[in-house]
Amino acid sequence: MSSSKSNKIVKLESSDNKTFEVEEAVAVQSETLKNMVDDGCANDTIPLPNVNGKILEMVLGWCKKHVDETVTGDELNKYEADFLDLDQADLYGLLMAANFLNVKGLLDRVLQRVADMIKGKKPEEIRRIFNIKNDFTPEEEEEIRLENAWAFD
Amino acid sequence: MDSLPDALVQHILSHINNAKDVAVCNCVSKRWKDSLPYIRSLYFARNSFDNLFGQQNPDNLVWKMISSIVRLEELVVYCPFSGVGLASWLSLVGPSLRHLELRMDNLVENQICNEGPSKLDCISVAKNLESLKLWGVLMTHSPKWDVFQNLWNLEIVGARLDDPALSAALRGCPNLTNLLLLGCEGVRLVSIELPHLQQCKLDFYGLGNCQLSITSPKIEFLEVQGCSWIRVHEANCLKNLSIANNAGKVYRVDFGKLEALEFLSIRGVQWCWDAVSNMLKWASEVKHLYMKVEFTGDSEALQPFPEIDLVEFFNSHPKLQKFDIHGAMFAALCQKNSLKHVDSGFVIPSLEELVITVRSPLNAEQKMSTLESLLKYGKNLKSMVIKILQMKSNHSSADDFFDEICRFRYMNRKIVRIE
């Protein structure tokens, strides 16, 4: 007994109680949701307590765009580039959601985007941009800077 | 960023591969420093160690960084290094490496430095390599390689080789599917017997007189520059073939029927006529043909092509969709008079795109007649581009010919274009 994938709907609820209904074909872009569907656990609304409505909407938008056959390669590239033009909070939210929901293409893109923001910068800049606490003691910091001095112009 | 779980931080940092960035990230925080050992790939740019001072040694700095990584799979080094350094790095990560790319820089040295291990020999330690790319290699002694069982891709760019050394190297990679030898000089007789080879690109510098023999029944893509005699036994899978020789003459080609061939490009200053006609005969199924052979002639003297019957040519290449006619071909197509006695059923069925270089105004009437026939019988022709920039214009009839071509273009604006 096989289900006709084109008609089935999957219901999702975000952490802030927003519900979303998407076609199964869209939902299964997420490996996590695909496993649930395959195991027959996707008949009721699936709660996603660690993804908020705003982020979930973004992720589902991405998934929808990637099953749409009318979208050309160029359009998809532009969409992906514009998609990641986000502030940091949203970027991390997206990263965590893409990781949890295991949407591979999206996860890779976000990881790459964050990595690109790190490249070519100095440690102080990186700490400032990403709000990272410097947890080295002054002695430790001096030692590590000396070891890696060759990388600083 | 601090609120992300460790796994995600490691995942982000695994996309940082430039050694300079890795060194900087080491200094950001303890958590970042502890996450960096999980990267899989490391790249040292050419200028990585331009700012060294004191007794810092590039080989050691590379070693230090590599030693902090749990499992390195890909190493790319463009900065200068020594054989001793390379041996030390590979003793650390040799077995886990899947991809290795090195700028060897040996071409500047006129003799092999006898101190320390040979860089080429060291590579043998990376016995699980899947892909190896070497830039600037001096391989005039056979490398002492065991067999790289997993190596499917070998690329050597800019090399001075000799025949036995190249043979020895290829014997060490019996499972290659991709082989690239670009800008290689010093070889004369090359014999490739790789049973799994699918893609092969060869570019030999020198006098253009190399002899090449390939026994690789699965070969699909072959590009060769600089050979005068090419033999490929069993080319049943060959889809894409390019043969060019800028420096020398192509004397002989041995391919047999090329049943799967879709694209053929033949280029060079001079090809023996048998070589040209055999290539055209074997490539009967071809969809895209690119010809830029300037002259033929079995002796030193450069000759134009003999006449080629247009009807016969297109009948024997019925699948031809795209045809680039440069060099001596266009002039040869014109001269037969069979166009006057053409069988009324004649048609050029598949041809859609034509690019023609017209080089001289000689035999202008015949040439115009050919252009008109191509248009008339090419029922599916969508575009004809006529290139005239290289036309010899010191002949007095050049202007008239140019006028004729312009008129032809005007009458067939939808299809014909002049460049």
ipTM, two decimals, is: 0.83
Cβ neighbors of B370 (< 8 A, separation 6 or more) are: B310, B330, B333, B334, B339
Q: Which residues of B touch A114 (CB under 8 A)?
A: 12, 15
Tell which residue, B295, B217, B232, has the closest CA to residue B264: B232
pLDDT tens digit string along B374-414?
Answer: 998 999 999 999 998 766 667 677 888 888 999 999 999 99
Task: Using pLDDT thresholds of 50, 70 and 90, give the confidence band for residue B339.
Answer: low
Distance from CA of B368 to the nearest CA of A (A): 42
With CA atoms as reference, report the closest residue to B342 among B381, B366, B318, B376.
B376
Question: Tokens representing B406?
Answer: 């312009």
* pLDDT at residue A103, rounded to an integer: 92
A91 — phi, psi (to 5°)?
Answer: -60, -45
How does pLDDT run across B240-258, given as a tens digit for each residue?
Answer: 999 999 999 999 999 988 9
- In the sheet with A46-47, reading across from the earlier edge strand, the strands are A19-23, A9-13, A46-47
Asked if residues B150 and B130 have their Cβ atoms less than 8 Å apart, the reply is: yes
Q: How far apart are CA B37 and CA B52, in angstroms?
A: 24
Residue of A103, A104, A119 to mutate for B, most B C-beta atoms under 10 A: A119
Length of chain B as a residue count = 419
Residue A3 has a pLDDT of 47
**CB B12 to CB A111 under 8 A?**
yes
Could you tell me if A53 lies within 8 Å of chain B, comparing CB atoms?
Answer: no
Give the pLDDT score at A4.
47
- Count Cα neighbours of B165 within 13 Å in the Cβ-side half-sphere: 18
pLDDT tens, residue by residue, B42-84: 999 998 888 777 768 899 999 999 999 999 999 999 999 999 9
Question: If you ran DSSP here, which 8-state letter would residue B395 be given?
Answer: S
H or E element in which residue A24 lies: helix A24-27
Among partner residues B4, B16, B20, which is closest to A151 by beta-carbon distance?
Answer: B20
